[in-house]
Structure 1
């Protein structure tokens, strides 16, 4: 973690041992997770592009170091009150000796899982790109495909259907549709990598991070209101 300091990753600060317990100090992202925004707000395409750009910058860095995150989803994207975006939760991370190396273990969260992971084929860093595509659908529709299905059924549908269908694809811009096509290409060899995706129009035309700040603050207010209602 010390060797993976980056502006788009929740960075390690310090660690110490106290009465046989290991305490790890990480950056605090007071804005909460992207899930809070996805469930409480409607995002513009340029705001979605901003989230994807910052996530891709973090993934590009990790992949360049031979690290696969393996659990990209809205829960693991944290924001500051200013709209800064950082990846977190590296519990499923895999270190590979070189970029061409492959793994074949089945890990991650089922609904965001790439087909090659589900089928236990050898895979590389592009599994994170598929998950990013599913996370983009989260931002569009409020939840990932097959969320109402059991995890086992969802895994079956991922391998059977390939690229998931959108509820209202025609309402999306061509740039966003193309971006999803690049991320959700079933053939991992043809799927874009982080570097390629960063050059696509959907990303290059995205908003700056401060545009996310109002969404972060609105989500916080709504969560506080919900807690207050629960207490009453």
Structure 2
């Protein structure tokens, strides 16, 4: 489907009937004149979630990039340069169905886009632009293509993947850089966990999923709503009003604990119920004193818990692997997944043969 250059750019004229009203709250973020199917081609689904699918897509070599009005200037300049040099440019496209009744996801999108307006950081996965697909009544969200989540990496530890301390430190450093940036804008993420931390092919970790995030007044950062997942959730969230700018550090500690143990704290019955300190590590001797000190600092009471800026000075956080090592780790993940798939196929063949015999 394509639209002539004279396509009206106002939602009421461009989108028929109910569609106009549903997308109106997102009007300021949507690139109105653009038919995304003319710009993004060869879509290949790479992930599926309850709110929509994520595709790897190629920017068309014939796309008129000059018409893109909502793309951040630096991203647009990179696209224009890549197209001029004949470079194959791959991006992520997340599609969200647009329903006549609207949806919670669209409201979350509006909130997230407003919260992060102009706040770009190398360790935060931003939404570069929004488009409306009239063919299937869906919203297309352009983002950077990421390789996998940290949760996907942790799962493979059961199949022999090893996360050395310096690799964990690399991830931790990126988490804290993202937190420090958000704190400078008085934003609390409030849902830091391995599912919401993504890795790209260059070895950068990026924080995503800001549906629980909140912007607070620095002089009055106390909120009351209970958010997050229990295993990564700071204990004060369950106790009543809490300082929103303090809880993300606890969640970083829980994620570091998870990377070391291949499961989040308090996940196993042997860990006991969620408490104010982490359960004991199974093999504490394989980790440095700085690693243990970092975990302790993350679980300090609110009154003495350090912020991201202070934690970035910790020697564990600064003894990191290089980003190429993360690229090698991602290659190991792919290799392990192939072996697991082959083993599953062989087990299926053996089971089938047994049934036949």
TM-score interval (norm. to shorter): 0.7 to 0.9
Which position in structure 1 is the counterpart of 2:123? 8
Which position in structure 1 is the counterpart of 2:182? 62
1:169 Cα deviation from its structure 2 partner: 2.2
Which position in structure 1 is the counterpart of 2:152? 36
Q: Pairwise mapping of residues 1-150 of structure 1 onto structure 2 (< 5 A)?
A: 1-19=116-134, 21-29=138-146, 31-40=147-156, 41-98=161-218, 100-149=220-269
Structure-2 separation of matches of 1:195 and 1:50: 16
SS in 1 for 2:328: helix
Q: Which has the higher strand share?
A: 2
Which position in structure 2 is the counterpart of 1:178? 293
Structure-2 separation of matches of 1:176 and 1:205: 10
Q: Which runs of 5+ in 1 are unaligned?
A: none
CA contact 1:16–1:22 (8 Å) conserved in 2? yes
CA gap 1:99/1:46 in 2 versus in 1, 3 angstroms: farther
1:97 Cα deviation from its structure 2 partner: 2.8
Q: Which runs of 5+ in 2 are unaligned?
A: 1-115, 349-357
1:196 paired to 2:310: yes
Q: CA offsets, 1:170-207, max 9 Å, x none?
A: 3321010111111111x112111000000111112222
CA contact 1:66–1:99 (8 Å) conserved in 2? no
CA contact 1:33–1:77 (8 Å) conserved in 2? yes
CA gap 1:204/1:28 in 2 versus in 1, 3 angstroms: same
Structure-1 separation of matches of 2:118 and 2:143: 14
SS in 1 for 2:273: helix
RMSD of the TM alignment (CA)? 2.0
Structure-2 separation of matches of 1:21 and 1:119: 40
Higher RCO (CA-CA < 8 Å; seq separation 6+):
1
* TM-score (normalizing by structure 2): 0.59
Structure-1 separation of matches of 2:139 and 2:294: 42
CA gap 1:224/1:89 in 2 versus in 1, 3 angstroms: farther
CA contact 1:100–1:124 (8 Å) conserved in 2? no
Which position in structure 1 is the counterpart of 2:62? none
Structure-2 separation of matches of 1:209 and 1:8: 13
CA contact 1:64–1:99 (8 Å) conserved in 2? no
Q: CA offsets, 1:197-224, max 9 Å, x none?
A: 0011111222222221111111123234
Structure-2 separation of matches of 1:162 and 1:79: 28
Structure-2 separation of matches of 1:144 and 1:45: 17
CA contact 2:298–2:305 (8 Å) conserved in 1? yes
* TM-score (normalizing by structure 1): 0.88
1:222 paired to 2:336: yes
1:166 paired to 2:286: no
